[in-house]
Amino acid sequence: MTTNIDIVRAHYAASAQGDIEKMMACVSPQVRWTEMAGFPCAGTWVGSQAVADNVFAVLGRDWIGYRFELQSLIDGGDQIVGVGTYHGTFRATGKAMQARVAHVWKLQDGQIVAFEQFTDTLFVNRAMQDA
């Protein structure tokens, strides 16, 4: 039986491969996905297609080598926390960034039904600003 932590782990593995289809495999069509205020894709996106279009496609378009480096997963049953670091270079400025991040995932019946991101947006925004 696939556990909630296995589902989140598989999402991160697909992300590392740049495979959006596999990333979205267990994301509910009605997911509520929140990117932190001050982040390039800030807001709450409802629906898996909205997440793919307004988060993953935008990050892939605007950043070179954008990735999340997972350091630990915390199993809270129906809530999983992923802790790690974002990396990438903002295409428009050529500036690199690294920012610590925590992701809070909520799962129900084998699907990701909610996601919330917490990150230091200052480091992300510095990369996006001209000198």
Q: Which residues contact 49 (CB under 8 A, 6 or more apart)?
A: 29
Helix, strand, coil tally for the chain in percent (to 5): 30, 45, 20
pLDDT of residue 130: 78
pLDDT of residue 1: 83
User: Do 121 and 99 contact (CB within 8 A), yes or no?
Assistant: yes
Hey, what domains does the chain have and what are their CATH numbers?
Answer: 4-128 (3.10.450.50)
Instruction: Say how many CA atoms lie within 13 Å of 73 toward its Cβ.
Output: 19
pLDDT of residue 123: 92
Report the C-alpha gap between 89 and 5 in whole angstroms: 29
Question: What predicted TM-score, i.e. pTM, was given to this entire model?
Answer: 0.93
Report the C-alpha gap between 15 and 68 in whole angstroms: 8
Residues forming a β-bridge with 90? 63, 95
Nearest in space to 57 (alpha carbons), one of 73, 45, 74, 71: 45
Report the C-alpha gap between 127 and 6 in whole angstroms: 33
Q: Looking at residues 27-51, what average pLDDT do you find?
A: 96
Average pLDDT, the chain: 95
How confident is the model over 69-95, as pLDDT tens digits? 999 999 999 999 999 999 999 999 999
Residues forming a β-bridge with 118? 102
| H/E run at residue 91 | none
Phi, psi of 25, rounded to the nearest 5 degrees: -55, -40
